[in-house]
Structure 1
Amino acid sequence: MKYQTYLIDLDGTMYRGKDKIPEAKTFVENLQAKGVDYYFLTNNTTKTPQQVADNLVNNHQIPATADQVVTPSLATAAYVKNMFDDDISNHSAYVIGEYGLKSAVYNTGIKFEETNPDVVIVGLDYDVTYHKFEIATLAIKRGAFFIGTNADTNLPNERGLVPGAGSVISLVETSTQQRAKYIGKPERDIMDFAADFKHFDPKTAVMVGDNYNTDIKCGIASGVDTLLVYTGVSTHEDIAKVAIKPTHEVESLDEWDV
């Protein structure tokens, strides 16, 4: 099947941290040359869409624009905007995360609040502290709605598999005895947001990624075909154990005919 839209993961699929995956550049250039729509559907909340695109272009020579980047930060901001019936400026949030997440959330007009926020949002924070966890835990215990950006326990980079947002969120889940409402992959929320935001038909799209538990499960949950590439997290041994297989599997993206 020739797909009309490609939804492409980043870490482990387009690159591994600072390390290039050479065939990723060719893969995207082929999509571009054939006029096929593609978007980068990432679980990275630390960077803005422009920063994500700049990294792809400047460090990996992969064609990308900010408009082609969909993040859980954008999807979370949209979710928060739809939570309330009145003006969002009447409501407040406390966010653990980097600039990419904080800018998306607070640009909605929601106010910053530590003590009694309406919502607590937790994502990957490279400078997370006990104090931040304490604020989040107490606020959720007081009744704040708890959102987690994505459940990635690990991220593949040039050093190996390092802690991801899910590791940070799980600490707050443990301290509050509450499960977060997750937005990013593998949840359907981010795919539904992407389809609405970028106006594509999920039935003619394919999700491309290296992680069965996030990328592929997101496609499965959304009724979107999937292409697993073995350049990141998931292994052949992992996939042998799962009941629902990816639609397609390749060792490398240079095996795939777009």
Structure 2
Amino acid sequence: MTDLPAGRPVETWLTDMDGVLVHEDVPIPGAKEFIEALKASGLGFLVLTNNSIFTPRDLRARLLSSGIDVPEEAIWTSALATAQFLVEQRPRGTAYVVGESGLTTALHDIGYVMTDRDPDYVVLGETRTYSFEAITTAIRLVEKGARFLATNPDVSGPSVHGTLPATGSVAALIETATGRKPYFIGKPNPLMMRSALNRLDAHSETTVMVGDRMDTDIKSGLEAGLRTVLVMGGSTREDQIEMFPYRPTMVVDSVADLVDTVGRD
């Protein structure tokens, strides 16, 4: 049984998806039980991901095929966080979007118009089919003054065939060509955490973030004022923790170690 250090009672849980609940499409032992404990507790929770390719409905189906039943409304992506940022900054604006349905659906849902004619923003997201033509259009629009946003800074991603270039790599290409840096919305930007808290109407002091990466999950949770739990077996090895100038609130071997912790405060 694992206990969080003393503090205000935990009312909300945020958890990363890849590396905490699943590896690719393989469920991590204890993940199903952790999610079921969260649902049974009545506490607020969200599953977070920097992946902007898929809609929450798509991700729910992916998790369900792995035996993990997460409600669609309990999934929060960098695409949704980007949409929330845009509606707060420039409601009902226009954007040239490089990405897939997870991103385009999120922007359509907030009333954004997709266009390549003098858009307010160029928004770069994840896609498995980056087009040289689309990247060239994005470069020219940024040069003409479009504001440059990217859903997340991840430079690579996994596939069954090996490493794929991800949003951060393509953003670096556009930045090099234009001299304009993008604003990244997803982790480790604490904005991702704050947007999740806003969705749940939750408070940072009563929220815990569970993740497997020190450089994204733990960093963004820390900067947003949350307690953090690092799960081993994912991207960060135990011997790497001391390399960082910050530490998680707690380190556990597996998400299974947290099942009995949920709702005990």
The TM-score normalised by the length of structure 1 is 0.91
Question: Which piece of structure 1 moves more, 176-185 or 138-147?
Answer: 176-185
Equivalent residue in structure 1 for 2:116, among 95, 101, 114? 114
- The equivalent of 1:195 in structure 2 is 197
- The equivalent of 1:100 in structure 2 is 102
Secondary structure at the residue paired with 1:243?
Answer: coil
- The equivalent of 1:8 in structure 2 is 15
Equivalent residue in structure 1 for 2:73, among 53, 67, 76? 67
Quote the RMSD (CA, aligned, Å).
1.8
Q: Which stretches in structure 1 are left out of the alignment for 5+ residues?
A: none
Q: Distance in 2 between matches of 1:150 and 1:144?
A: 18
Deviation at residue 158 of structure 1 after TM alignment: 6.2
Secondary structure at the residue paired with 2:30?
Answer: helix
Equivalent residue in structure 2 for 1:205, among 198, 201, 207? 207
Q: Which stretches in structure 2 are left out of the alignment for 5+ residues?
A: none
Q: 1:231 and 1:161, CA in 2 relative to 1: closer, same or farther beyond 3 A?
A: farther
Identity among equivalent pairs (%): 34
Letter in 1 for 2:72: A
Deviation per CA, 1:90-112: give whole Å up to 9, x if none. Answer: x4210111100011112322222
Q: 1:106 and 1:42, CA in 2 relative to 1: closer, same or farther beyond 3 A?
A: same
Q: Distance in 2 between matches of 1:249 and 1:157?
A: 28
Letter in 1 for 2:70: A
Letter in 1 for 2:77: T
Deviation at residue 221 of structure 1 after TM alignment: 1.1
For the 8 Å contact 1:154–1:163, the answer to whether it is kept is yes
Letter in 1 for 2:23: R
Equivalent residue in structure 1 for 2:60, among 38, 53, 57? 53
Q: Distance in 2 between matches of 1:246 and 1:158?
A: 31
Letter in 1 for 2:84: A
For the 8 Å contact 2:229–2:249, the answer to whether it is kept is yes
Deviation at residue 161 of structure 1 after TM alignment: 5.5
Q: Distance in 2 between matches of 1:48 and 1:197?
A: 16
Deviation at residue 4 of structure 1 after TM alignment: 1.7
Deviation at residue 34 of structure 1 after TM alignment: 3.2
- The equivalent of 2:27 in structure 1 is 20
Equivalent residue in structure 1 for 2:135, among 117, 133, 136? 133
The TM-score normalised by the length of structure 2 is 0.89
1:40 aligns to 2:47 (yes or no) = yes
Q: 1:238 and 1:159, CA in 2 relative to 1: closer, same or farther beyond 3 A?
A: farther
